[in-house]
């Protein structure tokens, strides 16, 4: 059994489903003041939308697109101790009347402050060392080997970077299971690519993320946002697995009951997939969204079981269980055993 360091994960990460109204509404029941809010329409085509307290709540970026940061004054308008407030935005992206939405919410530490550990002083670094999550805003210098401070105090296993001041640039993803020579793109189905110009062939340290000179992560004078994740036992895990192409599929041990499970075939071109414990809320879990697409929720294939200690794949579909194919994942969830050794209470 994997003892946890976090008895109640829902004060750091939580999923929340809601219905659009095209009017002002408060989305409550999240359980904390979210620092990072990721929303997506389940019922219609509409862009994924990401906002955070570091850039300011009126600013948003789209995981499925290469657009620059944009401004919406009537989308997410405020956060509170139990969720966030939506304005009267009627677009499919966040609050259209009659549409159903998923939101995934993380807690960092508000807007944060500048971190001066690296060769680039960050504009803001918002850090939650307990849950292993930080948000970094910085201006690139175009130099290979430049570093930024992430503030986590331990080595991050995943780093996601987006250029916000210009369009036409992908979302760069570092994942420890692929190593520091590889990168993935959150907005694309592309297989892993090899490039020194992303992470400078350097693994993040307990204080720094090292950047290459590719404009996707470090163009001179360009502004970026980075989301960094470190593993916390019983709460988060970032790893890899090999599919077996069988309906009695691969089992992925996480040591907790996943509330969110995000995956990508790393050596092939299948889409990213996001499953969570609210859609549909029971096994088989067969509803997922694709971060690289604006498409509505998919159901009926690529099934998984969300178990007390991991994920069991239940389909031979190549999207998450292709025979001999490699997959990377991110998982957040509910511990099996609490810090005092008791069986944790399901939430």
- Mean pLDDT, residues 320-343: 86
Q: Give tens-digit pLDDT for 234-285.
A: 999 999 999 999 999 999 999 999 999 999 999 999 999 999 999 999 999 9
Instruction: Give Cα 98 to chain centroid, integer Å.
Output: 26
Rounded distance, CA 136 to CA 140, Å?
12
Rounded distance, CA 162 to CA 180, Å?
18
What does the block give as tokens for 82? 């139990």
Q: Give tens-digit pLDDT for 58-107.
A: 999 999 999 999 999 999 999 999 999 999 988 889 999 999 999 999 99
- Report the 3 state secondary structure along the chain: CCECCCCCHHHCEEEEEEECCCCCEEEECCCCCCCEEEEEECCCCCCCEEEECCCCCCEEECCCCCCCCEECCCCEEEEECCEEEECCCCCCCCCCCCCEEEEEEECCECECECCCCCCCCCCEEEEECCCCEEEEEEECCCCCCEEEECCCCCCCCEEEEEECCCCCCCEEEEECCCCCCEEEECCCCCCCEECHHHHCCCCCCCCEEEECCCHHHHCCCCEEEEEEECCECCCEEEEEEECCCCCCCCEEECCEEEEEEEEEECCCCCCCEEEECCCCCCCCEEEEECCCCCCCCEEEEEEEEEECCEEEECCCCHHHHCCCCEEEEEEEEEECECCCCCECCCC
Rounded distance, CA 124 to CA 134, Å?
10
Rounded distance, CA 111 to CA 271, Å?
32
Of 136, 151, 125, 145, the closest CA to residue 224 belongs to 136
Return the pLDDT at 190.
98
70-80 exposure pattern, b = at least 16 Cβ within 10 A, e = fewer: eebeebbbebe
Q: Any idea which residue has 């620059």 for tokens?
A: 68
Q: Give tens-digit pLDDT for 106-148.
A: 999 999 999 999 999 999 999 999 999 999 999 999 999 999 9
Q: pLDDT higher for 302 or 298? A: 298
Please check whether residue 40 is in contact with residue 132, taking contact to mean a CB–CB distance below 8 angstroms: no
Q: Give tens-digit pLDDT for 31-49.
A: 999 999 999 999 999 999 9
Please check whether residue 199 is in contact with residue 210, taking contact to mean a CB–CB distance below 8 angstroms: yes
Question: Could you tell me what percent of the chain has a pLDDT over 70?
Answer: 97
Of 262, 290, 259, the closest CA to residue 277 belongs to 259
Which whole-number Å values give the CA distances from 34 to 55, 112, 248, 259, in the listed order?
A: 13, 13, 37, 16
Sort strands 273-276 and 326-335 into parallel, antiparallel or unpaired: unpaired
Q: pLDDT higher for 346 or 91? A: 91
């Amino acid at each position: 059994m994997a003892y946890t360091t976090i008895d109640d994960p829902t004060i750091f990460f939580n999923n929340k489903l809601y219905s659009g109204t095209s009017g002002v509404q408060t989305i409550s029941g999240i359980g904390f003041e979210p620092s990072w809010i990721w929303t997506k329409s389940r019922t219609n085509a509409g862009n994924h939308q990401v906002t955070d307290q570091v850039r300011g709540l009126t600013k948003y970026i789209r995981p499925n697109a290469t657009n620059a940061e944009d401004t919406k004054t009537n989308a997410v308008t405020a956060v509170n101790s139990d969720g966030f407030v939506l304005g009267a935005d009627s677009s499919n992206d966040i609050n259209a009347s009659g549409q159903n939405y998923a939101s995934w919410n993380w807690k960092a530490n508000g807007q944060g402050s500048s971190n001066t550990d690296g060769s680039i002083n960050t504009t803001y670094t918002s850090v939650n060392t307990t849950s292993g999550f930080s948000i970094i805003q910085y201006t690139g210098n175009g130099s290979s080997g430049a570093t930024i401070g992430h503030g986590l105090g331990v080595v991050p296993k995943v780093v996601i970077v987006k250029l916000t001041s210009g369009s036409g640039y992908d979302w760069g993803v570092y994942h420890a299971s692929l190593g520091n020579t590889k990168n993935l793109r959150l907005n694309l189905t592309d297989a892993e690519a090899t490039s020194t110009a992303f992470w400078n062939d350097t693994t993040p340290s307990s204080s720094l993320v090292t950047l290459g000179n590719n404009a996707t992560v470090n163009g001179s004078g360009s502004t970026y946002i980075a989301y960094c994740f470190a593993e916390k036992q019983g709460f988060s895990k970032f790893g890899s697995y090999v599919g077996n192409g069988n309906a009695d599929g691969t089992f992925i041990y996480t040591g907790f009951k996943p509330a969110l499970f995000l995956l990508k075939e790393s050596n092939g071109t299948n889409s990213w997939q996001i499953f969570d414990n609210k859609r549909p809320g029971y096994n088989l879990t067969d509803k997922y969204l694709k971060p690289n697409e604006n498409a509505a929720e998919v159901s009926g294939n690529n099934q998984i079981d969300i178990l007390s200690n991991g994920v069991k794949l239940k389909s031979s579909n190549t999207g998450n269980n292709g025979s001999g194919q490699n997959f990377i994942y991110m998982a957040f969830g509910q511990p099996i055993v609490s810090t005092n050794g008791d069986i944790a209470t399901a939430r």
